[in-house]
Amino acid sequence: MSSSMLEVLESNRSQLSSALDPQAKVANGQFLTPSTIAAAMADMFSVPLPNEIVLLDPGAGSGILTIAFLERVARQSQAVARVKVFAYENDDFLARLLESNLHNAAVGLIDQGIELTYNVLREDFILSASRSLVPPLLDALKELPSFTHVIMNPPYHKLSSGSDQRTCLERAGIQTSNLYSAFVALALPLLREGGELVAITPRSFCNGPYFRPFRRHLLDAASFERIHVFERRDDAFSEDKVLQENIIFHLRKSRPQRRVELSSSLGRSLESSTTRLVPHESIVQDGDPDLVIRIPSNESDDYVLERMTAFTNRLHDLGLQVSTGPVVDFRLRRHILDQPDRDSVPLIYSAHFVDQHVEWPIESAKKPNAIACNERTRRWLYPNSCYVLTRRFSSKEEKRRIYPALFSPIEDYDWIGFENHVNVVKSPDNDLYPTTAFGMVSYLSSKIVDLFFRQFSGHTQVNAADLRLLPVPPSSTLSELANYFDGKKVDTQAVDAHLEYLFKIKYGITSPNPAG
């Protein structure tokens, strides 16, 4: 089999990617795999490959992942006699290309004594696979064989709650909210014991409540062999301007979880990546009910994790709550005002954050400053008190992920509105002690918190659920950190130095300081 076939497919991929409707690609979550990534994914599978291979590619496109895998088969010195490929593609144009490419691959493998048979399935993988997993139909249908290998770049798109796909997944006992995680969840039960799966997906499944059932499903069925991260968010699919962080992971079905190989690279090529082995408990902490998957890709990340796990408290342990700002402005549009009047109250957006405090009103702000206070809006308002706020979103160019700000009561108002793109940390009685608030703003401004957050979050969004999981120091430490915040701006260098002093003196941590 000629190794130039992958190069031809790469040339075709670039043309296809340009030709496909950009809006349709986004709507379908359809991003074609670059050849360098396809080859690297194929190389992740264990050697030697078995004598007979049954491969599943559930979102095959034109077949670049399968072709990369077949080239890997052709390079192996040990003999592989037979390969059976089951490739799903429900786009007619891509399915025709896939048929042609697999035909050419089969011809090329004949000379090496390898028999390739293939089945291009022009149907929805989720509907097909989930039907075959419904217990009453399992014995009767047997639509799919068990697979030795799975390779995939699944579509990235949310599943509609009332869709046929969501209904079929629920009948099959799979709870997930995105197409990519549904593809992985369905492929795992189709793998043979000891079978392997390699996938490139967004990193977003690693944390958050929406993906918790999927993480449990994944970790119950398989174990991580390797995880690769791209150090820049736009490396994997730069032509398509995909700004989520993507990872490649290699799973083995039903193998004890001991050590995981972690690697990272600056670009698409994995040849120059840094690699190391870590205990599985560095990935998923024992006893963690949320099964958060952390990816400490270098020793510096280990030092971050060592420090942050010294703090055993969460916000609820300090009697604090966190929620998303309840004012969704487009739903209350006719009640939103650019400037306050006598029947309105302040409305706080992240645009009102200046350094680490809230300034209101801001005449030049692009966002409104007020919301009417009436029977329609009162349920969405908070008492005018002390709160710690964080931005829910930041842009990819910004240096930090967590941006906190102190909200101090504004004179002459009983109520305050917080817009939906703001997280609100408060006490249950809406009377947050100022020293605690000052200390929390200082702590959330620290570099160690930012570094820790990046280990388990692959996007720029900071959800209330993320803040609930964040380790926090005891109240006494927050009181000490409060001294480095003057109510407007945090002395972050002093906070970082103070925390590092505590880690060394109080917790006996002597590893190098990852915060610099």
| pLDDT for position 241 | 47
Residue 182: pLDDT band with limits 50, 70, 90:
very high
What is the chain's mean pLDDT, rounded? 87
| pLDDT for position 76 | 80
**Token digits of residue 238:** 């730069």
pLDDT at 207 over 50: yes
| pLDDT for position 145 | 74
Helix axes 4-19, 92-110, angle to 10 degrees: 170
Handedness of CA 50, 51, 52, 58 (dihedral sign): positive
Query: Closest Cα to residue 80, out of 4, 144, 148?
Result: 148
The answer to whether 273 touches 228, Cβ cutoff 8 Å, is: yes
Q: Distance between CA atoms of 174 and 132, rounded to whole angstroms?
A: 13
| pLDDT for position 19 | 54
| pLDDT for position 488 | 96
> What is the helix (H) or strand (E) element at residue 249, kind and residue range?
strand 246-253
| pLDDT for position 501 | 97
| pTM assigned to the model | 0.81
Please spell the DSSP secondary structure of 295-352, one letter per residue.
Answer: ---SHHHHHHHHHHTT--B-GGGGT-EEEE--B-TTTTGGGEESS--TTEEEEE-GGG
Residue 296: pLDDT band with limits 50, 70, 90:
confident
Q: Domains in the chain, start-ordered, CATH in brackets?
A: 4-297 (3.40.50.150), 315-505 (3.90.220.20)
Q: Distance between CA atoms of 419 and 276, rounded to whole angstroms?
A: 43
Q: pLDDT of 33-88, one tens digit each?
A: 888 899 999 999 998 889 999 999 999 999 999 999 999 998 886 789 999 999 99
Q: For the stretch 60-83, what's the b/e string if a residue is b when 16 or more beta carbons lie within 10 angstroms of its beta carbon?
A: bbbbbbbbbbbbbbbeeeeebeeb
| pLDDT for position 126 | 94
| pLDDT for position 140 | 42
Which range has the worst mean pLDDT, 214-218, 315-319, 456-460, 472-476? 456-460
Q: Specify the DSSP class assigned to residue 495.
A: H
pLDDT at 273 over 70: yes
**Token digits of residue 143:** 């639509």
The answer to whether 199 touches 205, Cβ cutoff 8 Å, is: no
**3-state SS record for 354-404:** ECCEECCCCCCCCCCCEEECCCCCHHHCEECCCEEEEECECCCCCCCCCCE
Residue 100: pLDDT band with limits 50, 70, 90:
very high
Residue 385: pLDDT band with limits 50, 70, 90:
very high
